[in-house]
Amino acid sequence: MQAQAPSPVATAAASLSGGTEVAPALAAARLALSRDLTLAFRKRGQLIQPLAFFALVTMLFPLAVSPELSRLRAIAPGVLWVAALLASLLALEFLFRDDAYDGTLEQYALSGQSLTWLLFAKTAAHWLLTGLPLALMAPLAAMSLGVAAAAVPGIVLVMVVGTVALSLIGAIGAALTLGMKRSGALLALLTLPLSLPVLIYGARATELAIGGTSFIAPLELLAALAVLAVTLAPLAAAAAVRISLE
Partner 1 sequence: MRWTWFHRLASPPYLYALAARLTPWFAWPAALLILGGLYAGLVLAPPDYQQGEGFRIIYVHVPSAWMSLMVYVTMGVAAAVGLIWRMKVAHAVAASCAPIGASFTVAALVTGSLWGKPMWGTYWVWDPRLTSELILLFLYLGFMGLRAGFDDTQRADRSAALLAIVGMVNVPIIHYSVIWWNSLHQGPSVMRLGKPTMPPAMLVPLLVLLLGFTLFFAAVLLVRVRAEILQRERAARWIGETLRA
By CB under 8 A, name the binding residues for partner 1. Answer: 172, 176-177, 180, 183, 186, 189-190, 192-194, 196-197, 200-201, 204, 221, 225, 228, 232, 236, 239-240, 243-244, 246
In the complex with partner 1, which residue's Cβ is closer, 136 or 243? 243
- C-beta of 246: minimal distance to partner 1 in Å? 7
Cα separation, 106 vs 7, whole angstroms: 13
In the complex with partner 1, which residue's Cβ is closer, 28 or 166? 166
In the complex with partner 1, which residue's Cβ is closer, 13 or 245? 245
- C-beta of 190: minimal distance to partner 1 in Å? 5
- C-beta of 228: minimal distance to partner 1 in Å? 8
Residue type present at position 38: T
In the complex with partner 1, which residue's Cβ is closer, 140 or 243? 243
In the complex with partner 1, which residue's Cβ is closer, 48 or 232? 232
- C-beta of 178: minimal distance to partner 1 in Å? 9
In the complex with partner 1, which residue's Cβ is closer, 75 or 192? 192
Residue type present at position 213: T
- C-beta of 196: minimal distance to partner 1 in Å? 6
Cα separation, 27 vs 30, whole angstroms: 5
**DSSP character string of 111-178:** SSS-HHHHHHHHHHHHIIIIIHHHHHHHHHHHHHTT--GGGHHHHHHHHHHHHHHHHHHHHHHHHHTT
- C-beta of 240: minimal distance to partner 1 in Å? 6
Which helix (H) or strand (E) element contains residue 106?
Answer: helix 104-110
DSSP state of 20: -
Cα separation, 75 vs 78, whole angstroms: 6
Which helix (H) or strand (E) element contains residue 95?
Answer: helix 69-101
Cα separation, 173 vs 33, whole angstroms: 20
